[in-house]
Amino acid sequence: MSPMLAVLAGARLVCYAWRVWALTWAVTAAFAAIVVVPVAAVLRADLGHSLYAARMLGNFDVAWLAELQLETAGMPAVVLEPLLAAVCLAFLLVMTFLNGGALAVLAGTTTFWSGCGRNFARLARLLVYAVAGYALVLGVHSALGRIIGKLWHHSMEERPVALAGWGRAAIVVLLALLVNMIFDYAKIHAVAGDTRAAWRNVLGALQFVRRNFAPAAAAYAVISLAALVLAGLWWLISGVLPRTAVGWLVLVLMLQQAFVAARVWVRLWYLASQTEFFRARFPDPTHCGTVGA
Amino acid sequence: MLRRLVLFFAAAAAALALEGRSIADYQIQARFLAHRHAVEASEILTWHNNSPDTISELQFHLYMSAFRDGNSSFAREDERAYLREGSGSISVKRLAIAGGADLTKTIRFIHPDDDNAGDRTVVSVPLPHAVPPGGSIRVAIDFVTRLPRSAARAGYHGDYHMFTQWFPKIGVWEAAGQRHSAHGHWNCHQYHATTEFYSDYGHYDVEITAPSDFVVGATGVAQSQVRDEKAHTTTYRFLQADIHDFAWTAQRGFVRVVRRFDPERAVSSAELSSTAKLLGLPESDVRLTPVDMIVLVQPEHRSQIDTYFRALENGLKYFGLWYGAYPYPTLTMVDPPYGADETGGMEYPTFITTGTNWVVARGDWDPAFVTVHEFGHQFWYGLVGSNEFEESWLDEGFNTYSTGKILDLAYAPFNYPVRYLNLPLGPFLGTPLVTQDSYTRGDYLLAPDADSMVRNGWEYAGRKSYRINSYQRPAVVLRTLENYLGAGTMARILRTYQQRWRYRHPDSLDFLAVVNEVSGRDMKWFFDQFVFGSGILDYAVDSVHRSTVQIRRNGEAIFPVEVRVRFRDGTQAWRTWDGRYRWTQFHFPNRAIESVEVDPAHKILLDANFTNNSYTRPLQAAPLMKWTENLLFWAGNLLLAVAGIA
C-alpha cells in the first residue's frame, strides 16, 4: 500500500468511526470546560456588571490582569496553575484510555469500549516510554542550545544565532514528530498485535519505521501538511471575524469548536492511516509482537 | 531709570539662569588601547567653587571600578554572576594640583552610602589649600581605565567598545539650600546596581586617539580629526559646553550615517501655532533649530536606519516643541551589537545608546520606543540635571511620561510584545493593542505601594520597585496630574520647569513649586500622597439600591472624583465628591438607575481598580462570552497538544 492510499483509507476509516471522533471531541471540550468554568466565574464576578468589561470588548486591556492580581493577591494564578496541571494529567490518562478503543475500532479487533478497557494498561505503559522519548528530545534541545551558545558566544551579529536557533527548533520539532510517529506505531503494534510488553511494542515499532521509513514518514508528512493548512485557514478566518456582538460571538464559538473538532479528526486520521499502513505492510499482526525478539 | 532697572533685572536673571552652568570643565587626552580594551588618559579638571562655602576636600567618582571584583556595592547588589568576574576599573596613576602638589598618596576610598570597605567607586582628596567661595582649582589626573565585558551600561564585546563613566568625575558640591539641603556637602554617591548619575555642568574638550580602522562616536561636536599614518592612529577632538558627562564608543564595523534635522520640514506651521497657543508663547519662542543626527548602527541593522532617524526626528520635534528646542548642534545615536545589550538603552549628553533586533515587525515597539525614550533624556537628565541617585523619578519618570505621549501621538498602538525564536510574534498572534497609558498603568499595578517614589535608588524594596517607582508610577502620576489640571496647564508647567531648571539641579519640591505657581493651585496634597507617599487609590461603586447609589473609598489615598449616573429613560446625572470620607451616597428619588460610574473618563490613572469603578444592571454578556469562548478554545488546543503524547 502506498502512503497516499493509506492516508485516503485512513480518512475513510475516521469517517466511518465518527462516533469515536465525536466522543473524543466531547471529552476534550469537557476537560477544557473544567479549566475554563472557574476562570469564567472569576470573570463574571469581577466584570459581569462593570462597564469596564464593555470597554475591553474591542481590545483587551492588559492592565486588567495586573488589576486582578493586585485585587486578589495573585490568587487566580495560584489556583489555576495546579488545576491546569491536574486537568492535563487526567486528560492524558483519559485519552490513553480512549485511544485503546479508537485503535481497536480502527484496527477492527474489538468494539470501542472493549478496546478501551483491554488496551489501557499496555498503552499507559507505552505512555511512560513515550515520555522518556520526549525527554530525550528535550535533552537534544538543551544540548543544541549549549552548543549554539558556545559557538556564537562572542558573536556581534544576531543573525547567525537566530538562524542556528531556528535550525535547532526545526531539528527538535522533527525529532519530536519522529518520536510521535514511532509511538503511534508502537500503540498500533500493541493493539493490532495484541502485545502487552511495552518494550516489544516499542522495538517492533522501531523496526517497522526503520524498514518502512520513507513511506511511513510520507504518510505522516501528508497529514501534518493538512494540519498546517487547517491552522493557516483558522489564522486567516479568525483574523477577520468581528467579535463585538453576541450573534458574531456565537458564530465564533461554533467555528472555534469546529477547529478543535477538526484537530481531533486529524489526530484520529494519523492513527487510522498509520493503522492501515501498518496492516498493509504487516499483514499478520498476530505475530508482530515477536518482530523485535 | 526704568530701562536701567530692566537691564539690571535681565542681567540678574541671566546670571541666575547661568548658575551652575560651568562648574566642572574637563580637558582629557585619551589613548584607546583596543587590544587591552582600555584607555590611558590625562585629565585636567578645572573646578569652580560657586558656593558660599570654603572647600577643603574634593570627591571623585571612579565608577568603572564597580566592575573590579565581587566586593563592590554594585556587584553585591546585583545578583548576576558575570559582574563578579572583574576586569573593569579606573586606576588613578597620579593626581596633582596642576603645576603644584602631588596628591596621589592622599587619595582615600570612601563609602558614603553603605560603609562597604570593598567598594572603590568614590575617592576623597584632601586639599593642601582650601578653595574659597568664587575660587577655582585645576587638578591634573593621569589614569588608566579598563572596560569590563559588556556590563551595566559600559564595556566591550568583540571590537565594540562603549566608554561611559570612564574618567575620574568630580561629585557635586551642594551648598545649603541647593536641592533643599540643610548644609553644604559633597553629593558623591557610590555606584549602585539600580542608580544612575549626577554631576555638574561644564565644558568638555576631549581628544581620543584610536586605531584608524575604528569608527569613533562621542558626546559633542567633532572639531578635528588628525591621522598619524605611521602609528595608524587617528586623533579625534570633541568639544561641548553645558553638559555634565562625556561618553564615547569605537567599533570597526559601525555604519555611520549623518542626516540633518530640519525643523522647517519636520514641523508644520499648524503644529507650531497650536503649540505656541497651548503654551501661551509667541511662535518665535517655540521654533526649533537644526541638529546633525549621527547614527552609528550595526551592519545587520542597516534596514532599520530610517526607523532610527524617524524616532530621533520625532524626539527632536515633540520634546523641542513642548519643552524648548534641543540646544546642542549634534546628537549621536549608537546601536550596540548583539551580545552587548547591556550597553544599550542609555543616555549621556548629546549621545545615546539604543537597541534593536535583527528581525523587527511592523507594529513592534522596538526600536522606536527605546530611541525616543533615550533621546528624551537629553531633556530630563541632560538639560535638567536632577539627581538620579536620590530622585530617579525626576528623569526616568518624566521621560517615561513624555515618551508615552510621543508614542501615542506619532505611532500606532503596538501589539503587546511577544518574542520567540528571535521573532516578534505579537502582531502575528494578534496580541492586544497597548497604549502607553495601559502599559505604564499595568506595570504600576504590579507594586503600587511598595515604596514612595522619592527614595534613594539603592534603598527601594528591590529592583522591581526601583523600576516601577522610577519609570511607570511617575508616568501614571504625571498623567493623572495632567488630567486633573488640564493638558494646557500641564504643558505650561513642564515647559516652565524645563526652562527654569535647565543646566541646574532641581528636586521634587522645586517641581512642586513650579506646579503651584503655574497652575495657581496648591497641589501639596497631591505630592504628599503620590510623590512622597505610597498609599493606594481606589474608588468603587459600593452598592446601587433602588434609587440610591453608594460610592466607597477603598484605598488610603484621597482624590476628588466625578460620578456619572445613567437612568433607564436614557438621561444621566453628574455628581462630584471630594472623596475624603470613606463613603458617600447619592439619592435619585423615583428614578430607575441603569448604571453608575466613578471617574468615567478614567482620568485618575492612579486608581488601582477600574473594574469596581462602575456598576451596570444588565449582565455584560458579550465580553464575558468572548473571553470565555476564547479560553475554551485555547484550553482545548492545549489539551490536544498534551494528548499528542498519549
pLDDT at B570 over 90: yes
Instruction: State which residue of chain B sits closest to A152, comparing Cα positions.
Output: B339
Q: How many residues does chain A have?
A: 293
Q: How many residues does chain B have?
A: 646
% of chain A at pLDDT higher than 70 = 96
Mean pLDDT of B444-469: 95
Do residue A154 and residue B158 have CB atoms under 8 angstroms apart? yes
Cell of B402: 513624555
As a dihedral over the C-alpha atoms of residue A123, residue A125, residue A131, residue A132, rounded to 10 degrees, the angle is -140
- Per residue in B179-217, pLDDT (tens digit) is 999 999 999 999 999 999 999 999 999 999 999 999 999
Q: Does B601 touch chain A (CB under 8 A)?
A: no
Q: A94 to chain B nearest CA, in Å? A: 9
Least CB–CB distance from A47: residue in B444, B623, B635: B623
Mean pLDDT of B355-380: 92
Do residue A64 and residue B611 have CB atoms under 8 angstroms apart? yes
pLDDT band at B361 (very low <50, low <70, confident <90, very high): confident
Most confident by average pLDDT, A66-70, B148-152, B445-449, B480-484: B480-484
- Cα gap A201→A107, rounded to integer Å: 16
Which residues, 6 or more positions from B322, have their beta carbon under 8 angstroms from its beta carbon? B275, B279, B402, B491, B494, B495
Q: Residues of A numbered 114-133 whose beta carbons fall under 8 angstroms of chain B's beta carbons: which are they?
A: 123, 127, 130-131
Which residues, 6 or more positions from B236, have their beta carbon under 8 angstroms from its beta carbon? B207, B208, B209, B210, B216, B218, B222, B224, B225
Chain A residues with CB under 8 Å of B632 CB are 29, 32-33, 36, 253, 256-257
Mean pLDDT of A53-65: 92
* Residue of A118, A84, A112 whose CA lies nearest to B641: A84
Residue B248 carries which side chain, given as an amino acid letter? W
Distances (CA, A) of B37 to A104, B32, B40: 70, 8, 10
pLDDT at A293 over 70: no
Mean pLDDT of B219-225: 98
pLDDT band at B432 (very low <50, low <70, confident <90, very high): very high
Mean pLDDT of B142-154: 94
pLDDT at B288 over 60: yes
Instruction: State which residue of chain B sits closest to A43, comparing Cα positions.
Output: B624
Q: Please tell me the predicted confidence (pLDDT) of residue B511.
A: 98
pLDDT band at B2 (very low <50, low <70, confident <90, very high): very low
Q: Please tell me the predicted confidence (pLDDT) of residue B411.
A: 93
Q: Please tell me the predicted confidence (pLDDT) of residue B13.
A: 43
- Cα gap B610→A64, rounded to integer Å: 8
Beta bridge partners of B210: B234
Chain A residues with CB under 8 Å of B627 CB are 40, 43, 60
Do the strands B351-353 and B330-334 form a parallel or antiparallel pair, or are they unpaired? parallel
Q: Please tell me the predicted confidence (pLDDT) of residue B357.
A: 94
Q: Please tell me the predicted confidence (pLDDT) of residue A283.
A: 61
Q: A226 to chain B nearest CA, in Å? A: 16
Least CB–CB distance from B626: residue in A180, A243, A259: A243
pLDDT at B28 over 50: yes
Count of CA atoms in the C-beta half-sphere (13 A) of A144: 19
pLDDT at B642 over 50: yes
pLDDT band at B122 (very low <50, low <70, confident <90, very high): very high
Chain B residues with CB under 8 Å of A267 CB are 640, 643-644
Chain A residues with CB under 8 Å of B633 CB are 256-257, 259-260
Q: Residues of B numbered 134-163 whose beta carbons fall under 8 angstroms of chain A's beta carbons: which are they?
A: 157-160
Q: Please tell me the predicted confidence (pLDDT) of residue B473.
A: 97
Q: Residues of B numbered 529-568 whose beta carbons fall under 8 angstroms of chain A's beta carbons: which are they?
A: none
Tell me what ipTM this predicted complex has: 0.94
- Per residue in A198-243, pLDDT (tens digit) is 999 999 999 999 999 999 999 999 999 999 999 999 999 988 888 8
Q: Does A62 touch chain B (CB under 8 A)?
A: yes
pLDDT at B6 over 60: no
Chain A residues with CB under 8 Å of B638 CB are 88
Chain B residues with CB under 8 Å of A49 CB are 615-617, 619-620
Do residue B620 and residue A33 have CB atoms under 8 angstroms apart? no
Residue B478 carries which side chain, given as an amino acid letter? L
Mean pLDDT of A42-62: 93
Instruction: State which residue of chain A sits closest to B253, comparing Cα positions.
Output: A156
Provide the mean pLDDT of chain B. Answer: 94
**How many Å separate Cα A75 from the centre of its chain?**
29
Residue of A43, A49, A65, A144 for testing the chain B interface, max B β-carbons within 10 Å: A49
Least CB–CB distance from A165: residue in B422, B612, B639: B422
- Cα gap B324→B382, rounded to integer Å: 13
B10 or B312: which leads in pLDDT: B312
Do residue A91 and residue B422 have CB atoms under 8 angstroms apart? no
Residue A132 main-chain phi, psi, to 5 deg: -60, -40
The SS3 call for residue B646 is coil
Chain A residues with CB under 8 Å of B304 CB are none
pLDDT band at B81 (very low <50, low <70, confident <90, very high): low
pLDDT at A168 over 90: yes
Do residue A35 and residue B631 have CB atoms under 8 angstroms apart? yes
Instruction: State which residue of chain B sits closest to A122, comparing Cα positions.
Output: B646
* Residue of B271, B256, B360 whose CA lies nearest to B314: B271
Least CB–CB distance from A252: residue in B432, B629, B638: B629
pLDDT band at A284 (very low <50, low <70, confident <90, very high): low
Instruction: State which residue of chain A sits closest to B357, comparing Cα positions.
Output: A158
Residue B448 main-chain phi, psi, to 5 deg: -75, -20
Residue B114 main-chain phi, psi, to 5 deg: -140, 10
pTM (two decimals): 0.92
- Where is average pLDDT lowest: A7-16, A187-196, B261-270? A187-196
pLDDT at B11 over 50: no
Chain A residues with CB under 8 Å of B619 CB are 44, 48-49
* Residue of B150, B156, B144 whose CA lies nearest to B62: B144
Residue of A94, A156, A259 for testing the chain B interface, max B β-carbons within 10 Å: A156
Beta strands per DSSP E along B200-329? 202-211, 215-218, 221-228, 233-243, 248-251, 255-261, 291-297
pLDDT band at A194 (very low <50, low <70, confident <90, very high): confident
**How many Å separate Cα B478 from the centre of its chain?**
14
Q: Does B598 touch chain A (CB under 8 A)?
A: no
- Where is average pLDDT lowest: A240-254, A278-292, B294-308? A278-292
pLDDT band at A271 (very low <50, low <70, confident <90, very high): very high
- Cα gap B202→B206, rounded to integer Å: 13
Q: Residues of A numbered 227-266 whose beta carbons fall under 8 angstroms of chain B's beta carbons: which are they?
A: 238-239, 243-246, 249, 252-253, 256-257, 259-260, 263-264
Mean pLDDT of B270-293: 97
